[in-house]
Amino acid sequence: MDRLILATSIMDRTQPGGPSAVNVNFTFSDTVAGYVSSFNTKENIFTVRTSDDREIAVYLTANTFSRFTYNLGEGYRDATSLAPSMLALNRQFVFAYGTFYPGSDGADGRFEAQWLVFPGQGPGVYRHEEPDWWINQSRSIGKSYLSWQFNYPGTEIDYKNYRTILHLAGAKKGDYLQETDTISRLIYGLSSAYMMTGEEPFLEAAEKGTQYLRDHMRFVDEDNKVTYWYHGIKVEGEKEHKLLTSEFGDDYYSIPMYEQIYALAGPCMTYRLTGDPKILRDMEQTIRLFENHYKDTEKGGYFSHLDPITLDPRAASLGNNRARKNWNSVGDHAPAYLVNLYLATGEPKYADFLESTFDTIAQRFPDYENSPFVQERFMEDWSRDQSWGWQQNRAVIGHNLKIAWNLMRMVSLKPKDAGTQDCGIDARGGKRSSARWMV
């Protein structure tokens, strides 16, 4: 059963204001989050009220343990001994992970907590709202990547040593394929870490990474003034084998637009820091590639894939990706690079590009009669494509969140009724009853 349907069907309210009955005929684990509304110390049961105004009874066991939220770089913060006093506080927010058990002999099921997480010590206290929470987290992640990828500060930062895949503990695997988009995303993160902390190693790594992409992953067509980005390079000793087409199964032997888009993510953030005109030229020429080859000048939007020889989005060689459009090709411009490019330059043409992108999303993507989620894969004429690969008619939750997030950013730049309605926000700034694009 679809998890969204499952989550709304297993807990049916038995009476107004009362806890929801758990109606399941199988056992499974999940997380429930909400505000504590009551606590029975004798029975070791507390009730949480969720964001959609349902009350759920949570049973504590002898093995239930608790902790407070703690940041990267901090030690474990146990809260097991303090849990009873925390649960006695009305409207204390809590995350409860546990197991739903079916009832027997007609009785309701129950939800038993395995562990609890308190985001702060007291109602209304959230550690992630501390002024330095995200700064410290960004610093910790950035330092870890510099250590894992480059053994910094023991050795200098050198992207020849970069690996696409790391073990969970940070050790490098034996592969030596360097993918453009993963390097670009790393640069994005390091640039962001520098913006948040001001620590020079992050800026150094961002600048060196951007130059590495320019030197090794970039192809410039001087005749047509366009820039392409390789999928990546395979390194064997001192030799490099450049891979123009994608190595991923869904996009194999094509030039998918999202790979070209995300090649700009890191360099664009570096450009915000340095104003290097060479980086701006790369971005302008890659956008020219989008306009010249991916853009559908007749029906609007951008095609998702190109044939690597003919640069034709309608080539038969593209198979299931022939003449298709999707969220990545139409909307991923904004979070990957376009918002940051506008912030860096203030150029009206980039604001116009953003506006066109979100006009298309607001017009083509919603499908409220059939789903609260967007349609995100289309034929050339904007009819739905629900037959492709693993997606079929399934929603990608992260894409829906990306769309809502970036529509809100666009609303702050240029409010429009269509965009604000799809975000669940009235054009005058008041909240509507539901956010149709949020899940």
Tokens of 326: 């999707």
Coarse DSSP helix, strand, coil percentages of the chain, rounded to the nearest 5 percent: 40, 20, 40
| pLDDT, position 426 | 39
pLDDT of 213 higher than 90:
yes
Residue range 93-117, pLDDT digits in tens: 999 999 999 988 777 889 999 999 9
| DSSP notation for 47-72 | EEE-TTS-EEEEE--TT-EEEE---T
State the average pLDDT over residues 383-390. 92
Reported confidence tier of residue 167, pLDDT bands at 50, 70, 90: confident
Cα dihedral value 300, 305, 310, 314, nearest 10: -60
Is residue 38 within a helix (H) or strand (E), and if so which, with residue range? strand 28-40
> How many other CB atoms are there within 10 angstroms of residue 294's CB atom?
23
Share of the chain above pLDDT 90, in %: 79
Taking the C-alpha atoms of residue 75 and residue 72, their distance in angstroms, rounded to an integer, is 8
Q: How far apart are CA 289 and CA 302, in angstroms?
A: 11
Based on C-alpha coordinates, what's the Rg of the chain?
Answer: 25
Pairwise CA distance, residues 288 & 45, whole Å: 62
pLDDT of 434: 29
312 — pLDDT class (breaks 50, 70, 90): very high
Are 422 and 407 within 8 A, CB to CB? yes
At 148, the pLDDT band (50, 70, 90 cuts) reads very high
Task: Give the pLDDT confidence score for residue 324 in this predicted structure.
Answer: 98
pTM over 0.95? The answer is no
Mean pLDDT score, 390-404:
92
Give the mean model confidence (pLDDT) for residues 68-73.
97
Q: Are 307 and 246 in contact (CB under 8 A)?
A: no
pLDDT band at 364 (very low <50, low <70, confident <90, very high): very high
CB-side exposure of 160: number of CA atoms within 13 Å? Answer: 8
The letter for the amino acid at 123 is: P
Confidence label for 6 from pLDDT (cuts 50, 70 and 90) = very low
Q: Which residues pair with 166 in a beta bridge?
A: 172
Q: Average pLDDT of 357-365?
A: 95
**Region 189-215 average pLDDT:** 98
Look at residue 403 and tell me whether its pLDDT is greater than 90. Answer: yes
Tokens at 298, concatenated:
């007749």
pLDDT at 328 over 60: yes
The tens digit of pLDDT for each residue in 29-67 reads 999 999 999 999 999 999 999 999 999 999 999 999 999
Q: Please report, rounded to a whole number, the percentage of residues in the chain having pLDDT higher than 70.
A: 90
Residue 428 pLDDT exceeds 80: no
pLDDT of residue 11: 56
| Cβ contact 344:272 at 8 Å | yes
Asked if the peptide bond before residue 335 counts as cis, ω within 30 degrees of 0, the response is: no
Spatial distance between the Cα atoms of 393 and 123, rounded to a whole number of angstroms: 41
pLDDT at 17: 53
Tens-place pLDDT, residues 118-130:
999 999 999 999 9
Average predicted confidence (pLDDT) for the chain = 90
- Predicted confidence at residue 128, as pLDDT, reads 97
Domains of the chain: 3-129 (2.40.50.140), 133-328 (1.50.10.10), 346-384+395-439 (no CATH)
∠348-350-354 over CA atoms, to 5°? 115
